[in-house]
Amino acid sequence: ESLGIVVVAAGRGERAGSPADGPKQYRRIGGAPVLCHTLATFRRFAPASPIVVVIHRDDTMLFEAALDALEHRRGIAHVFGGQTRQQSVLNGLDALAASDALRHVMIHDAVRPFIDAETLQRVGCALASGAPAVLPAVAVADTLKRGTADGLVEDTVSRTGLYAAQTPQSFDFAAILDAHHKAATAGRHDFTDDCAIAEWAGLPVRLVEGSPDNVKLTLAKDLAMADERLSRTAL
């Protein structure tokens, strides 16, 4: 039951703060680059699985430095990403397809360094039970409002059955590779996550419990909070 892992890290991270700080996946939290925390957790979960990290051309030095900070870097390759997250994922899938015959793949955002072993276990179980597509997600806790362009509340949206999508979204390898190629061929480049491509291709997507800690670091303050959290757990 071979598993491959794609970690997308080719974004520019413009929302995280001034460009001088560099992309958020290479910023240090708890003494190591964000990407290192992410890779270390996957390496522990699947010690023998090939990992492809999708990076931006301009980040090659940062990426090499991040790998140097990892204890176990064997089996970690990299390819360059594209204009969109969707294109970056496809480059990663193509690289895995070229080097290994894989049954399953997990596709993860580098900027979610708090992915935990329990979530990976739940996703892995769903894959093993035959689900072609698996989404870790958490039920929406806030009350949701629809707003108008001029800043007034229009109505309250029922949150029943609504989930916030996380990663690693995980798949039957051949099925998601095919779905990605079909989407690109159809001129669709606007999917913001891989399950949306699976849905578009008609694959049933199984929901499993994610973790409230598995947040996507987006803003500068997210990085500061992540750093603080890691320094607390180290004490």
Residue closest to ligand C5P when measured from CB atoms: 11
Token output for 67: 């790998």
By CB under 6 A, name the binding residues for ligand C5P. 8-11, 25, 54, 81-85, 88, 109-111
| Single-letter residue type at 21 | D
Cβ at position 90, least distance to ligand C5P in Å: 10
Helix H or strand E segment including 179: helix 173-185
Cβ at position 35, least distance to ligand C5P in Å: 9
Looking at beta carbons only, is 2 or 80 nearer to ligand C5P? Answer: 80
Nearest to 230 by CA among 120, 113, 138: 113
**Which residue in the block uniquely carries the two structure tokens 């362009």?**
149
Looking at beta carbons only, is 9 or 123 nearer to ligand C5P? Answer: 9
Token output for 149: 């362009």
Three-state DSSP class for 178?
A: helix
Cβ at position 165, least distance to ligand C5P in Å: 11
Cβ at position 49, least distance to ligand C5P in Å: 19
Cβ at position 130, least distance to ligand C5P in Å: 28
Contact 56, 81 (CB under 8 A): yes
Contact 66, 33 (CB under 8 A): yes
Q: CB 157: neighbour CB atoms within 10 A?
A: 12
Looking at beta carbons only, is 109 or 172 nearer to ligand C5P? Answer: 109
